[in-house]
Chain A
Amino acid sequence: MRSAVDGAVDAPLGLLAELTYRCPLHCSYCSNPLDLAAYADELTTAEWRRVLAEARELGVLQLHLSGGEPLLRRDLAEIVQYAAELGLYTNLITSALGLTPRRAEQLLAAGLDHVQISLQADEAALSDRLAGTPSFERKLAAARLVKDLGWPLTLNVVLHRHNVDRIAGVLELAEQLEADRIELAHTQYYGWALRNRGGLLPSRAQLERAQGVVRAAHERLQGRMEVIYVLPDYHSRYPKPCMGGWGRRQLTVVPDGGVLPCPTAHTLPLPRASVREHPLRWIWERSPLFQRFRGTEWMPDPCRSCDRRELDFGGCRCQAFQLTGDAARTDPVCHLSPDHGLVAEAVAAADEAARRRDAVLTPRRPGAARHPGTTGPRA
């Protein structure tokens, strides 16, 4: 393991600031924690300023402002302005609800570099149903506003069984909005998405059709719009290089000041770390949480002896824990994992379920996940 004590820990590049878990949307594929209400004691403006200053000092260059819905923080422009003064690249990841002309102009003046707006689908009825609230028209208005103010526009679309067949329409809409980039990313199964996995996983047939559409779009849109398609890891042979490696490039600060190597690592049975108790540098370099899976020393086989161990870093620790109960095992997504059957079963079940189309999804809402026994496939 690379040890912090001998000074060999790389500096982080990016900080994901989850400013609040409050959100006007109720998407069933959300990766936020199920116990949303536990994060109500949010960091103050002054605390965020300290976190950002410490992050910059540590080497962070990019700040992703997310949530929940970051626009629900009244001090968002103030936070952006301070980040810009520190020289951080600021990226707002938003549902766009609340991005009024006045608010947008404030953020522009504060120095916000980039805006990413989430879209749920290409038409109002489906989009509003997936978001759990009327929001489609407001999103389009906000997307136009972003372009009018001269920001580049990135659209984020999380894909699942209920919208993956609409990619062609989504791309057409993105063209109409003159988006500069669109990220079509399959759902990652954490938080609410894991709870709703049975109703969200697409079938293999859906995926094949989607890939055809994306391939054609790449050619048609060359030079006009960048299309990024993130394959679903459940259907891949190898796991994703989660966060580019544990405690290697990125860190996340959650609304109450907890610091995590990835936004879902709160699910792991590991010691906590908080900016309310320790300096960020100590947390990054020395905390047991960040050291636990740093490097390759912790790896079991088949990762330990695998040529890809520095490419995918054993995949995702949260996924390993959620599916096997042991965070130190190989990500079961990997076809070499002894636990791969768990993922193969879920994928096969999705092929069956996608034909029936009768899944019940639990919308993301504080309190909605209180019933025990449904937090994961093995719970």
Chain B
Amino acid sequence: MSRLNIELPGLKLKNPVMPASGCFGFGKEYSQFYDLSELGAIMIKAATAEPRFGNPTPRVAETSSGMLNAIGLQNPGMKKIIEQELPWLSQYDVPIIANVAGSTEEDYVKVAKEISIAPNVHALELNISCPNVKTGGIAFGTIPEVAKELTRKVKQVSEVPVYVKLSPNVTNIVEMAKAVEAGGADGITMINTLVGMRLDLRTGKPILANRTGGLSGPAVKPVAIRMIYEVSQAVSLPIIGMGGIQSAEDVIEFFYAGASAVAVGTANFVDPFICPTIINDLPELLEQLGYEHISECTGRSWKKHESPAYHRA
């Protein structure tokens, strides 16, 4: 019996590990390394209504145990994604979570409506938290009332469950989570990147052409854990957790904090095999820790619970 299968709104996952949006393109590159059907799901790169080039380069800068990126939601536009990328992905037995982005409410609604019809799209991830675009994106992710309203509008048109991706760049993330729950969200994904900056030693100026970028990688993991710990106790929505995951141990920690599934982002750039490696490592780790199923780990940090089966025996 599998220790790893998970059911979430719209999603029947063989395992709870999926690549995070923006870190996996539309899967083609990684399909050269392994069978994408091994993954729990795939969160594809953000789709906007029209094609976007994104920001000027440099777009990445390394930091201690992390990296800053300011790609700027470069993507070929929803039409090409629906007509080319999604049909290509349909050769794999893996549910797709489509990341939806925009500059205006109309944009989000338009993309959500169109992309949610695609047969292999099982859920949407509403991107209200990209820190690297001038308009929209993060603006929708920092004002609770705006986030709630956008969630409600997108829910009205989406054919599949809607997960809202929360930004950590807020004073009170619980308030944001409650707002999207009130707007009708089916789940939450968190966290997006933290806004940061690096300066060039020689010129004194920002390294990134966009000046600021989103911090990701192992450096942000404690922030993600703390935020999931808070949000999972305040709302009754399932959480797909992300932020610096690079091992099976990290996955368990995210579950303890309150996640029901996880996404791996930046680590894909370092080790293209990271997702299958983690999936492969999880059963043995669960065995060692005394869990029959990974779902027993969700919320252990705050739940009043019995000891795991191993300790009971």
A and B pair up: no
Q: Interface residues, chain A, CB within 8 Å of chain B?
A: none
